[in-house]
Amino acid sequence: MLIVASDAASAKQTTITVVSAHVTLLSLTPTTVVGGTGVTGHLYLNVPAPSGGFVVNLSSQYPNLVGVPATVTVPAGSTDLIFPITTMATSGPYRTWIKSTDLVGSQVATLTVLSP
Amino acid sequence: MRLLLASIRLIAALLVTGFTMSQARSQTGYRLLHNFGATSSDGINPYAGVSVDSAGKVYGASYSGGAHALGMVWEIDTAGNYHDLHDFDGVDGAKPSAGVTFDSVGNLYGTCGASPSGYGNVWEIDAAGNYHDLHDFDPFTDGPGEDPMAGVTIDSAGNLYGTCTDGGLYSAGMIWELDTSGNYHDLHDFGAGTDGTDPKAGVTVDSAGKLHGTCYSGGADSLGMVWEIDESGKYHDLHDFGADTGGGANPIAGVTIDSAGNLYGTCVFGSANSESGNGMVWQIDTSSNYHDLHDFFSANPEGANPWAGVTIDSAGNLYGTCTNGGTGGGGIVWEIDKAGSYRHLHDFVDGTLADGANPFAGVTIDAAGNLSGTCESGGSADGGVVWNIYFGGPVLSSFSTAPSALGGSALAGSVSLAGAATPMDTGTVQITSDNSAIPSTSIVVPGGATGTSFALQCGAVTSQSTIHLTASKGGVSKTSTVVLYPGLASFALSPASIFPGEPCNGTLTLNLPAPAGGWLVHLSSNDKKVGVPSSVTVPEGQSAVSFPVTVPSASLGETAQISAKDVDVTLSQNLNITALYTSAISVSPSIISAGNTATGTVTLNTAAPSGFTVNLASQYPSYVGVPATLTIPANASSATFQITTKAALVARPMRC
């Protein structure tokens, strides 16, 4: 997007790129856990969150097995956010996913939950 | 008797000009004052000479021409303008062969050879210009006398005298007088015995009241004679012309008397030399001795046949004319100086319209000592001329000029003469210069004036020049030193360096205050964008003037040359125009998320001398906002502004 400065003798222009903030990466640590153990989620934005923060919706494939906050807000100026994920004890191993959703799209991360 | 007469002549008064010669004269020029016959009403064929009054006006009569083709009386004023004073109509007179005589109050007198009576008349034009017929010659009603060929002579009492070529008691001519009461008297009748006959010349009156004259024929040898009437009215035969009495024959002209009382005259024929016979100049000295002063030879070629008599200046130089002969064949003007040396002052050229020819009249000397007379024929209309030989007239008395002037301007000056210039004296002052920037020239003092002011046009000079001027007239020279300066002394621009749009003034200064009319200076710029007036004028009396120089705001950096040119020099000055413009714009960060703000920076090429405003614009102002303008403070070269974006209105990154 051009911005132009001009006077009687000359005109000069420059370009500014304006982008919408969105999640570029959702990662989990660890990616395999024994049920009942906590997991850390990490969101990365493409640009610093705008003023007022940037809200990201989270969802889990098996909410009863893997619990995530419904939304998280990346603080203004921040480009990432860490959020907690809970797991429940289970009988078998389950491979499940966690998804972040914003105005641009979604990011998915997989998590394996093992039996004790 | 002649010894007695000679002794009387010793006390005779000078009857010629009062001009005083103080040094040898050298002729400086010849000119024609009037060409007769250029118009149908002008006079033609003047047989008579000219008379010059005390004011310098020249008078005469023409035998033919005029409104009635019967002759007229004319005047040339002191400015050289010709005037017709009277046209003879045949009733008031006709065919004047004689000239004009003045009295002491400015009345003019003359004669006509024809009149209402048929025998001629005596006329007067009074000082108011009114014409009067004073006497008609009529042998049957008014006493003897017919056909006056000569003019009028006035004595100190105001009596008029003259002769008639015919009539009288013996039908051989006579001498007449009109007294102050207008009474006509017959003073002498020619033709008795060996007396003279046919007096073609008039009367000369000396200071004692004696009358003198000649007869064309008669006398002891029938070849003419010289006569005198003394104070008592007694008539005397002074000389009879003939081969046995010293030569000479048939005098047409009368007698001239010098300050010593010697008599002079001419004979139209005869001479002492038997090979001649073309006339001669004679003198009868105060001892009554007859002398042949000069014989005219036709073979030289010299002049021949002097109809006119002798004119004498107060230095004793004699002047006269010959009707024929000379190198041009049209007659001559001659001079016999006091030492007896003879020379031609002018040879009239016959057969050309560029000069007069055949002078029947003699020479008149004006107050300045210049000579004039008439020719019966020749001139541009072949109707005769009034000629003038000038010797310089009054000498130069003073000469002054302004001490300085601008090249190309007019240099004021003045000259004055020791006396009044007359039409006979061109009054010309020669001015010579040692520098062509003021060319040598001549200044004419108008007739009747003793001086004049003038303006000399100076040429251009590129540097200060000191010029020496010398004015000369009549052998007297005066000098004046003039310093000529170029008009423009300096040219300045203030300021000499500007930013576009800033005001600038040029100032021109002259070396001297501007002369009358002001001083014009042309202006130009080698840069069309830099505006100057096409010209400015330094007002009269002022030494400087200013003018605006305009430089548009959009100008880029450059150097313009402004030039000022007058008639002398061209001066130039450079105007340095320092560019001031937006050299860069940047944003930080260059990538921002919608809804965030960025900072823009505008940078100038140099620090602004005062607040400098830059216009700002966004490609998509709905999404990215910028202020409309940004003012960069004085002495700063950059300033920042905020860029705002609309939050989250796009779904994808947007790079424009």
Residue A5 lies in a domain: no
Q: Does residue A39 form part of some domain?
A: yes
Domain count, chain A: 1
For residues B447 and B508, state if they share a domain: no
Q: B361 with B437, same domain?
A: no
Sorted by sequence, the CB contacts under 8 Å of residue B9 that are 6+ apart come out as B206, B257, B260, B261, B262, B263, B286
Task: Report in angstroms the alpha-carbon separations of B498 from B556, B558, B559, B576.
Answer: 11, 10, 10, 6
The model's pLDDT over B611-647, given as tens digits with 9 standing for 90+, comes to 899 999 999 898 899 999 999 999 999 999 999 988 7
Same-domain check for residues B547 and B624: no
Q: Which one of A18, A21, A46 has the shortest CB-CB distance to B624?
A: A18
Distance CA B582, CA B615 (A): 10
HSE, CB side, 13 Å, CA atoms: give it for residue B56: 25
* A4 found inside a domain: no
The pLDDT tens digits for B256-297 are 999 899 999 999 998 766 556 889 999 999 999 999 999 987
A51·B630 Cβ contact <8 A: no
pLDDT recorded at residue B300 = 65
Give the distance from residue B599's alpha carbon to the nearest chain A alpha carbon, in angstroms: 10
Q: Does B557 touch chain A (CB under 8 A)?
A: no
Residue B197: pLDDT over 90? yes
Total residue count of chain A as it appears in this document: 116
Residue type at B214? T
pLDDT band at B13 (very low <50, low <70, confident <90, very high): very low
Question: Does any domain span residue B656?
Answer: no
Indicate the residue of B554, B630, B654 with minimum beta-carbon distance to A18.
B654
Strand order in the sheet with B371-375: B29-35, B385-390, B371-375, B364-365
Q: Which position has the token pair 């004023």? A: B77
Question: Among B88, B107, B106, B85, which residue's Cα sits nearest to residue B97?
Answer: B88
Share of chain B above pLDDT 70, in %: 90
Q: What is the pLDDT of residues B584-594, one digit of tens each?
A: 999 998 888 88
Show the domain range for B560: 488-577
The answer to the question of residue A95 being in a domain is yes
The answer to whether residues B372 and B405 belong to one domain is no
Chain B residues within 8 A of A21 when measuring between CB atoms: 593-594, 648
Instruction: Provide mean pLDDT across the span B245-261.
Output: 90
Residue A109 lies in a domain: yes
The token pair at B567 is 């008639």
In angstroms, the Cα distances linking A40 to A25, A27, A29, A68, A69 are: 14, 8, 5, 10, 12
Show residues of chain B in contact with A16, CB under 8 Å.
587, 590-592, 598, 624, 643, 656
Q: How many residues does chain B have?
A: 656
Q: Looking at residue A110, which CATH number applies to its domain?
A: 2.60.40.10
- pLDDT classification of B143: cutoffs 50, 70, 90: low
- Is B590's CB within 8 Å of A8's CB? no
Contact A3 B654 (CB under 8 A): no
Do B377 and B355 form a contact (C-beta atoms < 8 A)?
no
Q: Are B585 and B605 in contact (CB under 8 A)?
A: no
Note down the domain range covering A78. 22-114
Please state the pTM of the whole predicted model. Answer: 0.56
Probe site for chain B from A1, A3, A24, A46 (most B CB atoms < 10 A): A3
**H/E stretch holding B6:** helix B2-9
Q: Does B69 lie in the same domain as B81?
A: yes
Shared domain check, B504 and B372: no
Question: Is position A87 within any domain?
Answer: yes
Do B207 and B319 fall within a single domain? yes
Any idea what the CATH number is for the domain that residue B567 is in?
Answer: 2.60.40.10
Residue entry with tokens 């400087």 = B544
Report ipTM (2 d.p.).
0.72
B38 has a pLDDT exceeding 80: yes
The chain A residue lying nearest B618, using CA atoms, is: A3
- Is B581 in the A-facing interface, judged by CB distances under 8 Å? yes
What pLDDT is attached to residue B4?
29
> Does B654 score more than 50 pLDDT?
no
B491-550 residues touching A, CB cutoff 8 A:
500-501
B653 and A19 in contact by Cβ < 8 A? yes
Q: How many domains does chain B have?
A: 4
CATH for B6 = 2.130.10.10
Output helix, strand, coil percentages for chain B, rounded to the nearest 5: 0, 45, 50
Percent of chain B with pLDDT over 90: 64
B171 is written with which tokens? 């039908």
> Average pLDDT in the A58-73 region?
96
B340-366 pLDDT tens trace? 888 889 999 998 888 999 999 999 998
* Angstrom distance (rounded) from CA B357 to CA B379: 8
Q: Are residues B522 and B465 in the same domain?
A: no
On whether residue B655 sits in a domain, the answer given is no
pLDDT bracket for residue B8 (50, 70, 90): very low
